[in-house]
Amino acid sequence: MTENRIYNFNAGPAALPLSVLEEIQESFLSFKGSGMSITEISHRSKQFDDVINDAVARTKRLLNLGDNYHVLFLQGGASLQFCMIPMNFLPEGQSADYVNTGTWSTKAIKEVEIQNKKCETVASSDDRDYCYIPKNISFNKDAAYAHITSNNTIKGTQWDQFPNVGDVPLIADMSSDIMSKKFDISPFGMIYAGAQKNIGPAGVCMAIVRDDMLKRVPEDLPSMLKYTTYSSKNSMYNTPPCFAIYTIDLVLKWLEETVGGIEKIEEINRKKAGLLYNLFDTSEFFRGTADKDSRSLMNVTFRLPSEDLEQKFIKTAQENGFGGLKGHRSVGGCRASIYNATSLEAIETLVDFMKTFEKENG
């Protein structure tokens, strides 16, 4: 481990690949020999054109996107998309289907209701405190779209297989698991992701929108709340978050060229998560909180026998170079967020520490 750096298990903003941070550090004062920092160059310059176009091209290659998908970079995070999606894609007189798997789904549903638009919660796991992903869901054939949250950072659940919604466009908040595993893009009218969990720093949201969805966008929306504003201007209608997009481009380059693509990172992610879940399954001390068939590859949530032991575990872990293991404030407990940039070595070292902690405190 590099001197003064800890094993970072924060849920977001989260770990970035060390090689990306080193490349940023090396070129920060003079980006590509320009004599200016990436934070100083004009977003109208060829230098930044190359950055944003490369980020779009790498996204399309990694996710196998056709020309009918547009890669957009927006500000306001995934939370702004919660209200923009119904604004852009839910006409008067129609209803949208939502699956509620926890906090972020609940917030997305609330934003539809604020606008006095119609939506139906077609499935929810609130009956068991969101510890599982609902199955065998009946979606409405005439829904304007169906919305899911692909991974729940707080409860540690994730869709292993995406639901079949027929001809209804599927929309997914993939903030915490985009680029982490292979999936078929064709059912999706849109996916979106706040960058700060798995693909970059805070300050930008990636949205991938299909052509047919853009045709739905009303003309009378404010310019900055229309997806067509961004698709028609290559995300540069106004000054975009240049540094955040630059960092995403470097992360995608790392994923594509150093790791070897989505299939390779999925293999690594499954191995990382498997080490932790195997520990839970063979321990009477650590207990995973998500149902086995709904466990997240990105956010591993767990409890210890008492809250006192949890506090001791978090404190002792921090003292030993493991940061970010405290559970979300709304649920307590512990959580290891093990996004793409978190190495297999970090997980192996954490598991060894956890086994030692159990021996000393169990």
The predicted pLDDT at position 204 comes to 98
The predicted pLDDT at position 150 comes to 98
Helices then strands, counting H and E runs in the chain, come out as 10, 14
Question: Given pLDDT bands bounded at 50, 70 and 90, which one contains residue 57?
Answer: very high
Q: Are 72 and 206 in contact (CB under 8 A)?
A: yes
Among 227, 242, 258, where does a domain finish? Answer: 258
Question: Given pLDDT bands bounded at 50, 70 and 90, which one contains residue 362?
Answer: confident
The predicted pLDDT at position 1 comes to 47
- Tell me, yes or no, whether 234 lies in a domain: yes
- What phi, psi does 265 have (nearest 5°)? -70, -30
Examine the domain organization and report whether 108 and 28 are in the same domain.
yes
Examine the domain organization and report whether 144 and 118 are in the same domain.
yes
Average per-residue pLDDT for the chain: 97
Closest CA to 240 of 267, 204, 270, 200: 204
Examine the domain organization and report whether 168 and 271 are in the same domain.
no
User: What are the C-alpha distances in Å from 53 to residues 223, 230, 245, 246, 294?
Assistant: 22, 14, 10, 10, 36
Catalytic residue positions, numbered? 104, 173, 197
Examine the domain organization and report whether 224 and 347 are in the same domain.
no
The neighbour count for residue 282, using CB atoms within 10 Å, is 9
Examine the domain organization and report whether 168 and 274 are in the same domain.
no
Q: What is the largest CA-CA distance in the chain?
A: 64
Average pLDDT on 347-352 reads 98
Which residues sit opposite 336 in a β-bridge? 300
Range of the domain at 349: 261-361
Q: Which CATH number belongs to the domain containing residue 131 in this structure?
A: 3.40.640.10
The predicted pLDDT at position 2 comes to 55
- Tell me, yes or no, whether 95 lies in a domain: yes
Is the pLDDT at 119 greater than 80, yes or no? yes
Closest CA to 194 of 183, 207, 210, 181: 207
The predicted pLDDT at position 319 comes to 97
Is the pLDDT at 11 greater than 50, yes or no? yes
Examine the domain organization and report whether 293 and 327 are in the same domain.
yes
Q: What is d(CA 201, CA 310) in angstroms, rounded to the nearest whole number? A: 29
Examine the domain organization and report whether 230 and 153 are in the same domain.
yes
Average pLDDT on 151-173 reads 97
Q: What is d(CA 193, CA 318) in angstroms, rounded to the nearest whole number? A: 29
Examine the domain organization and report whether 38 and 170 are in the same domain.
yes
**What total of structural domains would you count in the chain?**
2
Examine the domain organization and report whether 64 and 146 are in the same domain.
yes
Among 224, 258, 292, where does a domain finish? Answer: 258
Examine the domain organization and report whether 29 and 146 are in the same domain.
yes
Q: What is d(CA 221, CA 282) in angstroms, rounded to the nearest whole number? A: 55
Q: What is d(CA 61, CA 58) in angstroms, rounded to the nearest whole number? A: 5
Cis peptide bond prior to 13, omega within 30° of 0: yes
Q: Are 299 and 288 in contact (CB under 8 A)?
A: no
Average pLDDT on 158-165 reads 97
Examine the domain organization and report whether 220 and 128 are in the same domain.
yes
- Tell me, yes or no, whether 269 lies in a domain: yes
Among 241, 258, 275, where does a domain finish? Answer: 258
The predicted pLDDT at position 330 comes to 92
The predicted pLDDT at position 3 comes to 66
For residue 35, what are its two tokens? 């004599």
In three-state secondary structure terms, 97 is: strand
Examine the domain organization and report whether 130 and 216 are in the same domain.
yes
- Tell me, yes or no, whether 2 lies in a domain: no
Average pLDDT on 189-218 reads 98
Average pLDDT on 308-337 reads 97
Average pLDDT on 298-326 reads 98
Is the pLDDT at 344 greater than 90, yes or no? yes
